[in-house]
Structure 1
Amino acid sequence: MTEPQRTSANDLRDAVRRKSSFAQSMKAVAWSFFGIRRGADHQNDVNQLNPVHIILAGLLSAALFVGLLVLLVRWIAG
């Protein structure tokens, strides 16, 4: 078995300094919620997007999704 490739601290710093916008990260997270994404687009996201933006966009999207589900259940049960 091969060992997983280890990421150095410099690689992480470089990833965090990427100049992508938060809107691009939100778009990538939205596509991932639907589960439809081309492999080439996914690879571009991995190379271009800021991981901190992805984490924040994922948390924001998850909170929004849960909030919408709660509102929907209250409306139906209401």
Structure 2
Amino acid sequence: MDEFKEAARRKLSFGQTIKAVFWSFFGVRKGRDHDRDMAQLNPVHLIIAGGIGGLLFIVALIVLVKLAIRVAS
């Protein structure tokens, strides 16, 4: 439990965590940046940012499918 509390006090801000999650969804990340992020990301921020990113991805897919259906009709 102490390890989690210590990890939750890590340095990177929520905005920096959003940026790291975006690059992870995009699939482009330098190895050294990934290693730095893993050492500094706050796991609580990471879970929240991942959930938001996943939700936005699903919404974007739904919008694209509806748009494609509308154009095809």
**TM-score w.r.t. structure 1 length?**
0.83
Which ranges of structure 2 fall in alignment gaps of 5 or more residues? none
Distance apart, 1:76 and its partner CA: 1.1
Partner of 1:40: 32
Gapped regions of structure 1 (runs ≥ 5): 1-8
The one-letter amino acid paired with 1:29 is V
Deviation at 1:34, TM superposition (A): 1.6
State the match for 1:68 in structure 2.
60
Stretches of 4+ aligned residues off by more than 4 angstroms: none
The one of 49, 73, 78 equivalent to 2:41 is: 49
Under a length normalisation based on structure 2, what TM-score does the superposition of the two structures give?
0.88
Which residue of structure 2 aligns with residue 3 of structure 1? none
- Two-structure CA RMSD over aligned residues (Å): 0.9
What count of residue pairs does the alignment treat as equivalent?
Answer: 70
